[in-house]
Amino acid sequence: MIAVSELTKTYAGASSPIIDGLSLQVKAGQSASIQGASGCGKSTLLALLAGFEQSDSGSINIAGQPLQTLTTSQADTFRKNHLGVIFQQFNLLECFNVWDNVAFTARLKGNYDKARQTLLLENLGLAHHFKSPVSRLSGGEQQRVAIARALNHQPEVVLADEPTGNLDEQTSDSVSNLLFAYCQEQGASLVVVTHSGDVASRAQMQFRLHLGRLQAV
C-alpha cells in the first residue's frame, strides 16, 4: 500500500512549493488517478513516490517501508523488489531487444517466468516483436514494452506516468484494461498520472493536483 502524509517539495529558485502538504493513501488492490495542468507537479509526485527524489518534509511509506530511511543503493533495491514504474519517456535499454527489456527487472528480482512473460506480451499485442530491437519500434509499441517491463516482475505498487500517451484510442482501451485488471487481481496499489479522462475514470479514486495538493474529483 501507499501512505503519504503532509508531503512538501520546493525546487531551488521557485517562489512556491510544487508539492504542498499533500497526503494520499492507496490500499493494496486500489487504484488512484491524478490529473492536472502541465507543470503542476504530477511527475514530481511520482518521482517522490518512487524514491527518485527526496521531499523537503512529510513522509512516504510504501509496502511498509518508509522511503526517507533508505540510502540511494537501498532505494534501488527496494524499487527492484516492490515497484513497477512506467516512465513517460519509456527508459528502455536500446542495446536489448523487446524480450530482454521486459525480462530485465524480473531477472534481477529472481522471479523471471517465461510463460508469464509470453502471455503478458501477447496481451499487449507484442507477440511478433519478441526479438525486435526496441529502437525499431514505434512510440506506441515502445510504450507497451515499458508497461510490460513494469508489470512482469509482479510488483506490489505500480506507478504510471501517462501510460497511454502514445497509443491510439483502441490500443489505449485494451492497455488500460490490462493495467487496472492486473493491479486489482494481484492486489497491487496503482497510481496513474494521465491527461486522459477515460483512463482517469477507470480508477477507484480520482484526483486533480492543484496548487500542490490533491483534490478529489
For residues 197 and 103, the answer to whether their CB atoms sit within 8 Å is no
Q: Is position 18 within any domain? A: no
* Model pLDDT for residues 90-124, shown as the tens digit of each residue: 999 999 999 999 999 999 999 999 999 999 999 99
Which residue range is the domain that position 178 belongs to? 26-52+65-216
Q: Is position 141 within any domain? A: yes
171 pLDDT higher than 90: no
Q: Is position 7 within any domain? A: no
Residue 154's pLDDT is 95
The CATH number of residue 162's host domain is: 3.40.50.300
43-63 burial, b for 16+ CB within 10 Å, e for fewer? bbbbbbbbbeeebeebebbbb
25 pLDDT higher than 90: yes
Q: Is position 21 within any domain? A: no
pLDDT category of residue 196 using cuts at 50, 70 and 90:
very high
Q: Is position 58 within any domain? A: no
Q: Is position 33 within any domain? A: yes
Residue 170's pLDDT is 87
pLDDT category of residue 132 using cuts at 50, 70 and 90:
very high
Q: Is position 37 within any domain? A: yes
How far apart, in whole angstroms, are the C-alpha atoms of residue 28 and residue 189?
5
pLDDT category of residue 168 using cuts at 50, 70 and 90:
confident
Mean pLDDT of 66-72: 93
Residue 88's pLDDT is 87
Could you tell me which residues come within 8 angstroms of residue 110 by beta carbon, excluding any fewer than 6 positions away?
none
- Average pLDDT, rounded, for the chain: 94
Residue 201's pLDDT is 95
The count of structural domains within the chain is 1
Q: Is position 6 within any domain? A: no
